[in-house]
Structure 1
Amino acid sequence: MFIIIKILSSAAIIGVVTEIAKRFPTYGGILAAMPLISLLSVLWLTVEGQTKEQIQQFTWGVIIGLPATIVMLVGVYIALKNNLNFVFAISIGLVCWSLSLVLQNKVQEFLN
């Protein structure tokens, strides 16, 4: 039952943000950029009894993932701005994201 509550409440938030984005694209983008998924995840992890250390590791993972996510979104934005097909733009974004994570891991290995 708890998983159904998580799914429905999370889907409702995404639905509301999407509806706002239809009417006010910039504000919808700002709302979508909010750490809604991260905060919801922290909330659900806490409610489910995860330890403080586990939640701390989760939030660190989110922080580590931010640069690649930014690169992905910039790639999608540039592709769409240049009138590329939506699916192709998303594909470019995913490739940018993947390459960013690989590069980030290589840099981290080098620094360690």
Structure 2
Amino acid sequence: MIFLTVKAAISGILIAAASELAKRFPGFGALIASLPLVSVLGMIWLWNAKPDAENMAAHSAATFWYVLPSLPMFLVIPVMLRHGLPFSLALGLGCLLTIVLYSTMTFIGPKFGLRL
């Protein structure tokens, strides 16, 4: 239970730091948020729980393929905001787009030999 609390605290601190930096320096906050910190921390936590090279390789490769469908959200949200949509609607539609693209990747990826 203590390890779970430490993992949650470290992860929360990183997210809080990125959002606080973004208040003053949007570009720097975006840089911090775009770093694959969650993926790297996830791999560290996974390796600590199950040090299996094949499992880690599969996890890392699947992470790459799941990053791709999330990228359009970061292009669509600014376009919607600049066209006057409220933030909550733009964010919701961006998340909906990502869910659709994740679902598509999950369904189509294995047909092309991807291990997701």
What range describes the TM-score normalised by the shorter chain of this pair?
0.7 to 0.9
RMSD (Å) for aligned C-alpha atoms: 1.9
Query: Please, what TM-score do these two structures have when normalized by structure 2?
Result: 0.84
Quick one: which amino acid aligns to residue 27 of structure 1? F
Question: Helix, strand or coil for the counterpart of 2:85?
Answer: coil
Equivalent runs, 1:1-112 vs 2, <5 Å: 1-105=2-106, 108=109, 111=112
* Identity of matched residues, %: 22
Q: Quote the Cα distance in structure 2 between the aligned partners of 1:53 and 1:83.
A: 47
| 1:43-88, Cα deviation, whole Å (9 max, x unpaired) | 1111223411111111112111112110122121211122211111
| Structure 1 spans left out of the alignment, 5+ residues | none
Judge which range, 96-105 or 75-84, deviates more: 96-105
Query: Please, what TM-score do these two structures have when normalized by structure 1?
Result: 0.86
Which is bigger in relative contact order (C-alpha 8 A, separation at least 6)?
A: 2
Q: Quote the Cα distance in structure 2 between the aligned partners of 1:110 and 1:49.
A: 28
Contact map agreement 1:71 1:100 (CA 8 A) in 2: no
Quick one: which amino acid aligns to residue 35 of structure 2? M
| Structure 2 spans left out of the alignment, 5+ residues | none
Q: Quote the Cα distance in structure 1 between the aligned partners of 2:39 and 2:33.
A: 12
Counting matched residue pairs gives 112
